[in-house]
Amino acid sequence: MSVVLLTDGRPRKTGQESGPLHVNGRDFATDNGEPWQFRGWSAHYLLNCLIGGYPCDPIDAVLDQVVEYGYNTLVTVGMHASPWKVANGWALTPLIRPDYFTWLGRLFDKAADRKLRVAHAPLADMQHYTGDKQAFWRESCAVMHGRWNLLPRKGNEDYSNGWHPNDYQFPDGMSGLLSQGSRGEGTHPRYNPYYPYLDWVEYEVVRKAPKMFLDLPLRQMQDGDFAGPATNRPTVNIEPMYFADTNPDHVGDARSTDPRVAREMALMMAACAGGAFGCSLGLECRVLPEGSISDQCARAFIQALKAVFLRPLAALDFQGDH
């Protein structure tokens, strides 16, 4: 972590990311060939946060905390159009903001200035979007293209959000390491990562202990009860169990309040390419109060994720080639 001065003279913290990533077997790798771990921070409303007028904290304060914790990738989604989001003041689409894509580019630039990567998924709430869906996809890809710090994903949980990977294809020559997106939480085979795989794979385990702890490493290596073809490429747990200071949280969603769960999740995730931490305040781009349960969970997760990222890892050599 380093400190830079913004134009207003205030010190701001920056991460350590630079240059494009590559795929090296079942791991990500940097330009110099070093293994790289996906250390994601779920901030689904980060574009809202940058634009302003939403119940978020200032984006610079949010990014300061992400960097201070040691996370390297912001996990964002691009469409907020559900009736719940409309009713609760979170709606954001190009129909609401005609300058949407200008702001999206500014968000990616801001993350790059802070030396952070962005795993952006344009497609969410698509069943509620009344505009041109394919145009939204094309414009989103155009903004993501050519940026060293982007890990482009198609979308978030297609079964819940009204889109299908077959209907949205990355343009030929699209830059960055590409993902088909996440499918959702569940044991039904439809929630297996979408095949054919692209450069890297996302998946979600059932957010319930103790099965979650067993599934984390097994599903990442596509072993155990996993029904799909082995991925043989970086695999990331993009949305594991979420955390909050209370269960349920302030909007009624089920959450864990146990830092031990965050730590054990991260320990298991490090068997593969990494994962993302999510908490209710983080999703809303709020600064976690120091010493709060959310803060404790965020620290426990990243400390464990970093501590056990050991390479080479023999267990990955047993993954099949089928």
Domain count, the chain: 1
pLDDT for 261 beyond 60: yes
227 falls within a domain: yes
Give the span between the Cα atoms of 122 and 55, in whole angstroms.
Answer: 21
Domain-located, residue 125? yes
Distance set, CA 322 to CA 165, 180, 231 (Å): 22, 19, 9
In a domain, 33, yes or no: yes
Q: What is the mean pLDDT of residues 60-85?
A: 98
Beta strand segments in 176-301, E: 201-203, 235-237, 274-277
Mean pLDDT of 71-79: 98
**Rounded to an integer, what distance in angstroms lies between the CA atom of residue 197 and that of residue 171?**
16
Q: What is the pLDDT of residue 322?
A: 41
C-alpha distances (whole Å) from 274 to each of 140, 157, 191, 285 are 25, 19, 19, 22
Interval 178-222: pLDDT, tens: 999 999 887 777 888 888 999 999 988 777 777 676 666 655 555
Tell whether the model's pLDDT for residue 9 goes beyond 70.
no
Average pLDDT over residues 20-47: 96
pLDDT (mean) for 314-320: 59
Has residue 289 been placed in a domain?
yes
Q: Do residues 154 and 179 lie in contact, with contact meaning Cβ atoms separated by under 8 Å?
A: yes
Range of the domain at 109: 2-7+29-311
**Is the pTM of the predicted complex or chain greater than 0.85?**
yes
* pLDDT at 224 (0 to 100): 46
Distances (CA, A) of 107 to 124, 147, 259: 18, 12, 30
Q: Is residue 39 part of a domain?
A: yes
Per-residue pLDDT, averaged over 242-247, amounts to 97
Element (H, E) at 306: helix 293-307
279-306 pLDDT tens trace: 999 999 999 999 999 999 999 999 999 9
Does 223 have pLDDT greater than 80? no
Which CATH number fits the domain that encloses residue 279?
3.20.20.80
In a domain, 318, yes or no: no
Does residue 239 carry a pLDDT above 60?
yes
Share of the chain above pLDDT 90, in %: 75
Q: What are phi and psi of 153, to 5 degrees?
A: -115, 150
Question: 223 near 26, Cβ under 8 Å?
Answer: no
Dist CA 183 CA 89 (whole Å) = 26
Tokens of 66: 């992400």
Instruction: State the Cα–Cα distance between residues 90 and 58, nearest whole angstrom.
Output: 16
Calculate the average pLDDT of the chain: 90
For the stretch 133-177, pLDDT in tens is 999 999 999 999 999 999 999 999 999 999 999 999 999 999 999
Question: In this structure, is residue 14 part of a structural domain?
Answer: no
Residue 50 belongs to a domain? yes
